[in-house]
Every structure is written in C-alpha cells, then in structure tokens.
Homo-oligomer: A and B are copies of this chain.
Amino acid sequence: MENFFIIMKIKVSIIGATGYTGFELIRILNNHPNCKISFITSRKSESEEISIQDLYPTFFSTENIIFTNLDIEKIAKESDLIFTALPHRASMKIVKEFISLNKKVIDLSADFRFSNIETYEKWYCEHEERDIAKKSVYGLPELYRERIKGANLVANPGCYPTSAILGIYPILKEKIEINENIIVDSKSGVTGAGRNPSLKTIFTEVNDNFSAYGVGAHRHEPEIEEKFSELYNIPLNVTFTPHLLPINRGILSTIYVTLKEDLDESKIRNLYNDTYRNEYFVKVLPKNVLPSTAMVKASNFCFIGLKLVKPKNQLIIVSVIDNIVKGASGQAIQNMNVMYGLPENRGLDFLPIYL
C-alpha cells in the first residue's frame, strides 16, 4: 500500500540465517512494514557466494538476498537490531560483541534463557558471558512485556517452553493449589529439528511414524521447570516428554496438573479468559473445543483448551503453537515490536493457514 507519511524502518540483520528459523524470520520480515533487512550471514558464504534463493528456491517469489560474512563492525553500522539464530554456545560471544556496540539483540539460542546459570551449565556447556546473561530478559511478551520494552538483550524462549508456559501460566499466576509434580507430554513437528540432514529426520524414518525421544533428558525440561517455579514462587517438578510428529509445523503440549482445590471447569476457564483477555495472540477455546496444531499453522497464535476431570481434580491443559512462529521467529518479531513500541501484532497479523 502506498503511504504518504514517513514510516519508521528498523534496520535488522540476521546472524546464521540458513536454518529454518532464519528462513522464517526473512519470510515474515519481508512483509513487515517497519523493517528493512540489512544483512543476513552464513558461514557457508565464506567459501562461495550464496543467496537465499539458492538455499530456498521458494524465494524466487520475491527479491533475492545475498549472504555476507560475519563482519560484526560492518553489520553493526547498518543495523539497529540483530537477530542471532545460531546454535547454543556459538551465540554467546557474538551477542556480547553486538551488545558492546550498543546494538539491541534478540537471541534465538538457549544461551541467555536461564536465570540460574548453573542450570544452563549443567545442561549445555560452560557459560562465558555471565555479565550480560544477567541483564537479559526472557522474551515471552505475554508475561514479561514491561521488561522486554527496556531490554537490550532478549532471550527468545524455546519452542516447547513457550507452549508449556502459556498453557499453565494462569494457574501459576493465580497460585492455585496444585500438586508439585506436573507432567508435560509434548509432541512436535520436524522443523523443530532444524535443517541438518540426519538419519532420524529423513522422510522415510519419520513419515507414517511416531516416536518418543529424549524422555526425561531433553534440555527444554530445565527451562520449563525454572520458569514454572519462578512464576509459582515455589519449586515445581516437571516431567517433560517430547515426541516427534510426522508434520512440519506445530507443537501440541498436553499438560497434567492435579489441583488440590476443588474448583470447577468454568472457574478455571474464567481465570484463563481473564488472564488472556487483552492478548492478541493467545486464545482460550470454549468448553469442549480442543485445539489442533493446524488451527495455528503458520501463525503466531497460541490456542489453549481445558478439561477438568472430576472427582480426581485432574486438570488437562492442551496448548498448541506453530513451533517456528510463536515458538521461534514469530515470537522474536513480536519481541522486536515490543522493544520498539510498535503494535505487538505488526507484521504478524496474518491468520493461520489451517490447510
């Protein structure tokens, strides 16, 4: 649409843009009216010139972008904000350098997600940038909007934690009395495994198949447990079981919480509705409607369904997101919008494609 007035353009760069989260950032930003991509980088570009159309021929639908090398000074000069979409550990140093150059950073790795660095070090590796880690903000806008507004470094949450935390947040916030053991049984599409070919993700091994993996040993478990406990102010135990779905996009988490109070389902639903009333991206479904991953496909929405089983007082929460949108790149852009005072849904107001 033509616009006769000046539109703010945030200059952004994406570090490590060859994977699916990089792809999705570029795809969404392409239609964001207040954004301009300055640089996208890839290690591969050091040996040969590659473009986004080489890696993803779907981009023949629009203008090509050439990858550049990671020249931090040059990139910083032409960027207001940096998205780092790198593996954990690789992110730390690079984030630090951009922060030192007074750039805002949204980091999609796990490096800055933990309040407790010891937990990070137990599950990942040694942390070499504890100072800036302390100042990072966990980028779940529905919970931490105010802190994100003023942040220079936002740690974009993991995909599983996003679905789990949004699913249980009203219960924890309201300090409903619950059993300390919470079960999060999650099922994810294969984009969550990234674009690196491996035996476990080739088509023939995943198609018409379904498997559990990393049971009791997935790195998103401590992230979920830390955030749950912080929100509840009491330590909680989370048993987290990820499964691999033969679909591209989507996470569905089935969360089991045993209530110690004798509430009824409508009270719980009201609590959820009140909590998320003003949230554009989180929708609580009516009684007897349960969400499916397709309902939020290729969108930034989170849908939540609820069922309270009596007389056990077993609350079953079913939460769905698109793992590479609300679970990664869409949420990163939502964070950017918050950081720049833009409407939170700017560039993200497209509906789920469903089919």
What is the interface of chain A, defined by CB distance below 8 A to chain B? 1, 3-5, 20, 23-24, 27, 30-31, 33, 56-62, 181, 183, 185, 187, 190-191, 195, 197-199, 201-213, 215-216, 237, 239, 241, 243, 245-250, 252, 254, 256, 258, 283, 285, 289-299, 301, 303, 305, 307, 309, 312, 314, 316, 318, 324, 346, 349-355
- Asked if A58 and B211 sit within 8 Å, CB to CB, the answer is no
Known: A212-B318, A312-B181. Is A57-B201 also a contact (CB below 8 A)?
no
Give Cα A215–Cα B306 distance, bound, in whole angstroms: 9
Copies of this chain in its oligomeric complex:
4
Give Cα A191–Cα B207 distance, bound, in whole angstroms: 11
Give the residue of B33, B59, B299 whose beta carbon is less than 8 angstroms from that of A61: B299
CB distance from A255 to the nearest CB of B (A): 10
CB distance from A282 to the nearest CB of B (A): 10
CB distance from A170 to the nearest CB of B (A): 17
CB distance from A68 to the nearest CB of B (A): 21
Of residues A181, A201, A211, A316, which shows the largest number of chain B Cβ atoms within 10 Å of its Cβ?
Answer: A211
Known: A57-B285, A312-B181. Is A207-B207 also a contact (CB below 8 A)?
yes
Give Cα A243–Cα B206 distance, bound, in whole angstroms: 18
- Asked if B285 and A254 sit within 8 Å, CB to CB, the answer is no
- Asked if A216 and B307 sit within 8 Å, CB to CB, the answer is yes
Known: A61-B296, A351-B30. Is A187-B203 also a contact (CB below 8 A)?
no
Known: A213-B290, A305-B212. Is A254-B246 also a contact (CB below 8 A)?
no
Residue of B nearest to A303 (CB): B60
List the 4 shortest-distance A-B pairs measured between CB atoms, nearest first.
A211-B292, A197-B197, A209-B294, A216-B309
- Asked if A298 and B298 sit within 8 Å, CB to CB, the answer is yes
- Asked if A298 and B353 sit within 8 Å, CB to CB, the answer is yes
Which residues of chain B are within 8 angstroms of A215 by Cβ–Cβ distance? 290, 305, 307, 316, 318
- Asked if B289 and A57 sit within 8 Å, CB to CB, the answer is yes
Residue of B nearest to A343 (CB): B1
Give Cα A352–Cα B353 distance, bound, in whole angstroms: 11
CB distance from A332 to the nearest CB of B (A): 17
Which residues of chain B are within 8 angstroms of A59 by Cβ–Cβ distance? 351
- Asked if A187 and B201 sit within 8 Å, CB to CB, the answer is no
CB distance from A13 to the nearest CB of B (A): 19
Q: List 6 A-B contacts (CB under 8 A).
A: A31-B351, A57-B285, A61-B303, A212-B292, A212-B305, A245-B246
- Asked if A207 and B203 sit within 8 Å, CB to CB, the answer is yes
Which residues of chain B are within 8 angstroms of A183 by Cβ–Cβ distance? 183, 185, 256
- Asked if A210 and B195 sit within 8 Å, CB to CB, the answer is no
CB distance from A262 to the nearest CB of B (A): 16
Residue of B nearest to A295 (CB): B58
Which residues of chain B are within 8 angstroms of A256 by Cβ–Cβ distance? 183, 185, 239, 256
CB distance from A78 to the nearest CB of B (A): 23
Give Cα A164–Cα B208 distance, bound, in whole angstroms: 21
